[in-house]
Structures are given as structure tokens and as C-alpha cells.
């Protein structure tokens, strides 16, 4: 996912700071970097599910590490978004098992239905579609992740239904 220059308001609320402090309490005071991954998740969740460069810099400041140490993690893992994404991000697994069971076709079908290309977000800001590596649910292929949940044994009909449920606000993300 490419880096975005979109503006993002940085807001480390007392509640967010408390969650960060709780995570940091699991590690020695001089090893704050150990909490980087969970802290990034918390900060991303609290900022519309993406991490701008200034926000990554803020995380570096909080953890007392260099910004590059945050960038190299954020750019490595697909679960960290470097640009604004839709309310509903369909993350299609496209590794071997899912691929063999038609994941590429389903992702293409979804993109066509939403009028976007892979990696793009619909103009109304509702949907983003991306392909990701194995999500560890190979026995349920083809599958996708949306928020904290997996949707498994996908078919075009299930995709249709999922899109409609998202539009109706009936899909929980957490």
C-alpha cells in the first residue's frame, strides 16, 4: 500500500494514552520498542484505521525510538494502512489455497461490482479491496478478512450478500 500525503488529525486522547501505557507496562521501561506492533494497532484503530507519516512519527516519539523503526514495520505488514481506507476493507487472501479455490476471480468480481481496482477505495469512502498474504484460514478457502472477522468459503453470492450487509450497516468490524 503506497504512502499518502492526505492530512490526518493526530489525537492521542487520554483513553488512547491509557491503552498505550497499559501495553507498555508489559515491557521493561528501556524496551518500549517491544510494544511497537500492538501500539500501532491501538493508534491506527483510534485514527480511522490508517497511519499517516506524522502519526507514525508520533508513535516513534511515544516509544522513544527513531521514526525509521516505525516506518520499517508499517511498510512491512499489510495490516497497517498507510493511506485512508474505506469503512469496509475487504482483504482477500490470495495465497496458494485461496488462489486454487478462486480467490483471484472473487477479488476481481468484487472490484468490478464496486467499480474500483485492487487497492482502491470507492468514491463514497465505503469500500476498499486489497489482496493480502495467507491469513491462516487455509482450510476455509477462499476467504477474506473484514475488520476483526473472517468470511470463509466465499462465493459470488456470499460477496453480493456481504456488500449489501455492509451498505446496510449490518457488518460488525470489531
Three-state DSSP state, 90: strand
* Least distance in angstroms from the C-beta of 92 to ligand FES: 9
First vs last C-alpha separation in the chain: 22
- The footprint of ligand FES on residues 67-96 (CB under 6 A) is 93, 95-96
Q: Which of 98, 130, 159, 162 binds ligand FES (CB under 6 A)?
A: 98
Pairing state between β 144-146 and 127-132: unpaired
In the window 142-161, what residues touch ligand FES (CB under 6 A)?
143
Give the nearer residue to ligand FES in terms of CB position, either 125 or 136: 136
Backbone angles phi, psi at 60, to 5 degrees: -60, -40
Dist. CA 133–CA 65, nearest whole Å: 28
Give least dist CB 49 to ligand FES, A.
21
Pick the closer one to ligand FES by CB: 93 or 129.
Answer: 93
Minimum distance of ligand FES from residue 101's CB (angstroms): 8
Q: Which residue has the cell 514495520?
A: 73
Which CB atom, from 115 or from 136, has the smaller least distance to ligand FES? 136
Nearer to ligand FES by Cβ, of 114 and 143: the residue is 143
Sequence-distant (≥ 6) Cβ neighbours of residue 161 within 8 angstroms: none
Angle 51-26-173 (CA atoms, 0-180°, nearest 5)?
Answer: 40
Other beta carbons within 10 angstroms of residue 51's beta carbon come to 25
- Residue 166 as a binder of ligand FES (CB under 6 A): the answer is no
Least distance in angstroms from the C-beta of 141 to ligand FES: 5
Q: How far apart are CA 97 and CA 111, in angstroms?
A: 21
Stretch that binds ligand FES, among 21-29, 60-68, 108-116, 137-145 (CB under 6 A): 137-145
The site for ligand FES (CB under 6 A) is made up of 93, 95-98, 134-138, 141, 143
Amino acid at each position: 500500500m503506497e504512502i499518502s500525503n492526505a492530512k490526518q488529525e493526530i489525537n492521542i486522547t487520554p483513553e488512547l494514552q491509557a491503552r498505550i501505557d497499559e501495553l507498555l507496562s508489559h515491557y521493561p521501561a528501556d524496551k518500549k520498542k517491544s510494544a511497537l506492533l500492538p501500539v500501532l494497532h491501538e493508534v491506527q484503530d483510534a485514527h480511522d484505521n490508517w497511519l499517516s507519516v506524522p502519526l507514525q512519527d508520533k508513535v516513534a516519539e511515544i516509544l522513544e525510538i527513531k521514526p525509521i523503526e516505525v516506518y520499517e514495520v508499517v511498510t512491512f505488514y499489510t495490516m497497517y494502512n498507510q493511506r485512508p481506507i474505506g469503512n469496509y476493507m475487504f482483504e482477500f487472501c490470495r495465497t496458494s489455497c485461496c488462489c486454487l479455490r478462486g480467490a483471484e476471480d472473487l477479488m476481481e468480481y468484487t472490484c468490478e461490482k464496486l467499480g474500483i481496482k485492487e487497492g482502491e477505495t470507492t468514491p463514497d469512502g465505503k469500500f476498499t479491496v486489497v489482496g493480502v498474504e495467507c491469513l491462516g484460514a487455509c482450510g476455509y478457502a477462499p476467504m477474506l478478512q473484514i475488520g476483526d472477522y473472517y468470511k470463509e468459503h466465499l462465493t459470488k453470492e456470499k460477496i453480493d450478500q456481504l456488500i449489501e450487509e455492509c451498505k446496510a450497516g449490518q457488518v460488525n468490524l470489531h
